[in-house]
Chains A and B, each alone.
Chain A
Amino acid sequence: MTAAIVATGISRTYDLDGVSVPALRGVSLTIEPGDYLAIVGTSGSGKSTLMHLLGGLDRPTGGTLLIGGRDVAGLTPGEMAKLRNETIGFVFQSFHLLARTTARDNVALPLVYRGIGRRERRARATEMLDRVGLSHRVDHRPNQMSGGEQQRVAIARALVTDPSVLLADEPTGNLDSATGQSVLALLESLNAEGVAVVLVTHDREVAARAHRQIVMKDGVIVPDPSSAAVAQ
C-alpha cells in the first residue's frame, strides 16, 4: 500500500507585517495506512502548523507534500477541499461543532459536501454515532452534551467519510483525565480497525501509547526523543 501522506522537507513561514516567522523549517514525515503517531513538543514548536499542512488545510511554503498521492502544490482551493473531504478526518481541541445543530446533523456535515442525499447522510451519521457510543444522543445539540460527548460527536464526524487518516490536535486538551482516557481509547480502537491516527499531545504518557512518537522543537523534528528530553 502507498503512504497516506508524504512530507519531504516541508516548511511554513508566516508573514507577520513584513516580518517572516518560520513556524516550520524542513520537516520530513511519512504517514502509512494504519499508523498511530504521536507528536509532542513545547508550545509554539509548530505542531498545529504541521497538522494543518498534513491535513491539507494549509499549504507548505517550501518542500513537497503528497496527500493521498497528490501533490498539494498544484491543487486549487476547491480541489484541496475535495481532498480533505475524501482522505482526512479532523478532530480539534475545541470540538468545533455547529451550535443549534443536532449531533446527527453535525456528524452528517462532511457528507453534504460529498453530495450525498439527506436520507443516506442521516443513516450513516446515526451509524457513526452508534459506533462512538452515542446512539442515545442523536438529537441532542452541542449545548445539551458533555465535553466528552461533544468530542465523540466530533470524532464520529471525522470518521463518517471513511478517511484514511485521522488528525487529532490535542483532542483531550479540554477534557478531564477520565473522559480524555475514554476518548483516547476510542481513537485507539479506530486505529485498530485500520485508520491511521496522528495525535498531538502534551502528555508524555499518552504519547507513549502511540506506535511512533516525534518531538518538535522550533519548527523541526528533534532526531531522537531521549536527546530532546535532555535538551529540555
Chain B
Amino acid sequence: MRVAEAWRVALDALRANRLRSVLTMLGVVIGVAAVVALVGIGTGTKGQIEQQVEGLGSNLLLVVPGRLEAGSAPAASTMTIDDVEAVARVVGDRDRVAATIASGETLRAGSRSAFASMQGVLENTPTVFVRKLDRGSYLTRTDVTTGRRVAVLGAGTATALFGDRDPIGRQITIGGVRFRVIGTFERLGQSLGVDRDSEVHVPVTAAQRLLGTDRIDGLAIRAPDRERINQLSTAVVDTLTERHPDSDFSAVTQEQILGVLGDILGVLTGVLAAIAGISLLVGGVGVSNIMLVSVRERTKEIGLRKAVGARPRDIGVQFLLEAVLLTTIGGVLGMALGVTAALLVDALSPVPAAITWWSLALAFGVSAIVGIIFGVVPAQRAGRLDPVVALRTE
C-alpha cells in the first residue's frame, strides 16, 4: 500500500513538472543512447571483422618478414619464389602454400581507368584463401611459370573498367603493360569502409617483371589440420631463417590476428562506452540536483505527510522512486534512441552495428542504478527532515 502510494506520488510529481522532468531525463537519455549506439557499433564492427578473417578459411598461417612486435618497423622482404618451394617441401604440399607480391597500380581499359591493388600470386590462391570466381577462369600453373600477362579482376575493378560488358578476353593495361582478362571474382563488399573488390590478380612472375624485382611480400599456408599449425609455424620460420640468416620472419595464425583485432576493438569500444558513461554520470548529477530542488519545493508537503504518520523511510522511498523513475524512463527513451541511431548508422553508412540484448539490459540496469545512487542523498535528506521545521517552511 505504502509503496503503491509512493509510486503514485512519484509519477504525479514528475507529471506536475513535465518540462523539468523531461529536461532532467535528457542527460540520462543522451548518456544511455550513446552507450547503446557505441556498443552496438563496436559489436557490429568486431563481428564483421571476425567474419571476414574467418572467411579467409580456417587453419591459415601467414608468414611475413620482420618481427611482429609493438614498435618494430615493417621490414623489407628478402623472400623469393625459391623460398616458396622450400616452404612447400616443409609443408609437404605445394598447393597449400600461396605467395603474394602486392602493389597499387592504375588499370586502364580503353578510355576508362581504375586504381586497384595488384596481387602477384600463384595459381593456388583461390584454394588457400577461399575465393570464388564470378566469370571465366583463374590463373593456371603454366600462366605462373611462363609469366603470362593474364589478369583476374575484382568485382569492383571489373565494373569500373567495363561497366556491364563482359570483360573476359578483353585487353587492359596495368601500370602501362598490357594484360588480358581471363576471369572475375565474386563480390566481397566492404570492410571498415575499404572496398575489397578493387583488386587484380596476375601471375607472380608477371608482377615481379612489372615491378622489376624478384622478391615476394609474404606467404600464406593452409595447414592440413589445426593441431599441426603451431609446429608448422615454427618449422617454416626456421627454414626461412636458415635460408636468410640476416632476416627475421614471423608467422601468425588467424586466431592471433583475430585476438589482436578483438583486443584493439574491445579497447576502442570500452573507451567509447566509458566516454558515453561519463555523460550518463553527468545526467545522474542532473537528476540529483533536480531531486534536491524537488525536496526543497515540497518541504511543506513532507512535513504534512510526517505529521499524519509518514515514517522517514516512507518519505525516503517516495523520493528515491521519483529519482529512479526519472532515470529509468530516461533509460528506456535512451535505449530507443540508441537503437535507432545504431540501426541508422548500419543502414546508411558502411559501419556495421549489432544490437545485443545484454547491452540493452545493461543500459537499463545502469540507468536504474544511476537513479538509486543519485537519488539516495536527496531521499535521505527528505526522510530526515524535521517535521516541525518542514511545516514552518514558507
Complex contact A85–B308 (CB within 8 A): yes
Shortest distance from the beta carbon of A114 to any chain B beta carbon, whole Å: 7
| Interface of chain B residues 276 through 306 with chain A (CB within 8 A) | 300-301, 303-306
Q: Which residues of chain B have C-beta atoms less than 8 A from A117's C-beta? A: 1
Q: Which residues of chain B have C-beta atoms less than 8 A from A81's C-beta? A: 306, 309-312, 314
For the complex, give the distance between the alpha carbons of A90 and B304 in Å.
9
Shortest distance from the beta carbon of A24 to any chain B beta carbon, whole Å: 13
| Interface of chain B residues 1 through 22 with chain A (CB within 8 A) | 1-2, 4-5, 12, 16
Q: Mark A62-91, 1 if CB is under 8 A from B, else 0.
A: 000000000000000110011011100010
Residue of B4, B309, B387 near A82 (CB, 8 A) is B309
Shortest distance from the beta carbon of B303 to any chain A beta carbon, whole Å: 8
Can you list 26 A-B pairs with a CB-CB distance of less than 8 A? A57-B306, A57-B388, A57-B391, A58-B387, A77-B311, A78-B312, A81-B311, A82-B311, A84-B307, A85-B308, A90-B308, A96-B391, A98-B301, A98-B304, A109-B305, A110-B309, A112-B1, A112-B5, A113-B2, A113-B308, A113-B309, A113-B310, A113-B311, A115-B2, A117-B1, A118-B4
Q: Which residues of chain A have C-beta atoms less than 8 A from B243's C-beta? A: none
Whether, in the assembled complex, B313 has its beta carbon less than 8 Å from a beta carbon of chain A, the answer is yes
| Interface of chain A residues 115 through 135 with chain B (CB within 8 A) | 115-118
Q: Which residues of chain A have C-beta atoms less than 8 A from B301's C-beta? A: 98
Q: Which residues of chain A have C-beta atoms less than 8 A from B391's C-beta? A: 57, 92, 96
For the complex, give the distance between the alpha carbons of A77 and B309 in Å.
10
| Interface of chain B residues 349 through 374 with chain A (CB within 8 A) | none
A-B contact count (CB 8 A): 66
Shortest distance from the beta carbon of A162 to any chain B beta carbon, whole Å: 13
Complex contact A112–B12 (CB within 8 A): no
* Residue in B303, B305, B314, B387 with the greatest tally of chain A CB atoms within 10 Å: B387
For the complex, give the distance between the alpha carbons of A82 and B307 in Å.
10
Complex contact B1–A115 (CB within 8 A): yes
Complex contact A96–B300 (CB within 8 A): yes
For the complex, give the distance between the alpha carbons of A80 and B4 in Å.
23
Given A57-B388, A78-B313, check contact A109 B1 (CB 8 Å). Answer: no
Q: Which residues of chain B have C-beta atoms less than 8 A from A82's C-beta? A: 309, 311
Complex contact A157–B308 (CB within 8 A): yes
Residue of B16, B308, B311 near A109 (CB, 8 A) is B308
Q: Which residues of chain A have C-beta atoms less than 8 A from B4's C-beta? A: 118
Complex contact A58–B309 (CB within 8 A): no
- Chain B's closest residue to A95 (CB) is B304
Number of interface residues of B (CB under 8 A): 24
For the complex, give the distance between the alpha carbons of A47 and B100 in Å.
99
- Chain A's closest residue to B12 (CB) is A100
Q: Which residues of A contact B (CB under 8 A)?
A: 52, 55, 57-58, 77-78, 81-82, 84-86, 90, 92, 96, 98, 100, 109-110, 112-118, 157, 161
Given A78-B312, A96-B304, A113-B310, check contact A58 B2 (CB 8 Å). Answer: no
For the complex, give the distance between the alpha carbons of A157 and B307 in Å.
11
* Residue in B1, B308, B312 with the greatest tally of chain A CB atoms within 10 Å: B308
Complex contact B304–A58 (CB within 8 A): no
For the complex, give the distance between the alpha carbons of A115 and B314 in Å.
11
Shortest distance from the beta carbon of B28 to any chain A beta carbon, whole Å: 25
List the 9 closest pairs (A to B, CB-CB), nearest first. A85-B309, A113-B309, A110-B308, A78-B311, A81-B311, A112-B5, A96-B304, A57-B387, A58-B388
- Chain B's closest residue to A121 (CB) is B1
* Residue in A90, A112, A117 with the greatest tally of chain B CB atoms within 10 Å: A112
- Chain B's closest residue to A158 (CB) is B308
Residue of B1, B300, B314, B387 near A118 (CB, 8 A) is B1
Shortest distance from the beta carbon of B318 to any chain A beta carbon, whole Å: 10
For the complex, give the distance between the alpha carbons of A225 and B314 in Å.
43
- Chain B's closest residue to A77 (CB) is B312
- Chain A's closest residue to B310 (CB) is A113
Shortest distance from the beta carbon of B230 to any chain A beta carbon, whole Å: 68
Given contact pairs A86-B309, A96-B303, enumerate 9 new A-B contacts (beta carbons under 8 Å).
A55-B307, A90-B307, A109-B305, A112-B1, A112-B5, A113-B305, A113-B308, A116-B1, A118-B4
Complex contact B309–A114 (CB within 8 A): yes
Complex contact A161–B1 (CB within 8 A): no
Q: Which residues of chain A have C-beta atoms less than 8 A from B304's C-beta? A: 96, 98
Q: Which residues of chain A have C-beta atoms less than 8 A from B303's C-beta? A: 96
Q: Which residues of chain A have C-beta atoms less than 8 A from B2's C-beta? A: 112-113, 115
- Chain B's closest residue to A167 (CB) is B307
For the complex, give the distance between the alpha carbons of A85 and B313 in Å.
15
For the complex, give the distance between the alpha carbons of A115 and B313 in Å.
14
Q: Which residues of chain A have C-beta atoms less than 8 A from B305's C-beta? A: 109, 113
For the complex, give the distance between the alpha carbons of A96 and B4 in Å.
23
- Chain B's closest residue to A160 (CB) is B308
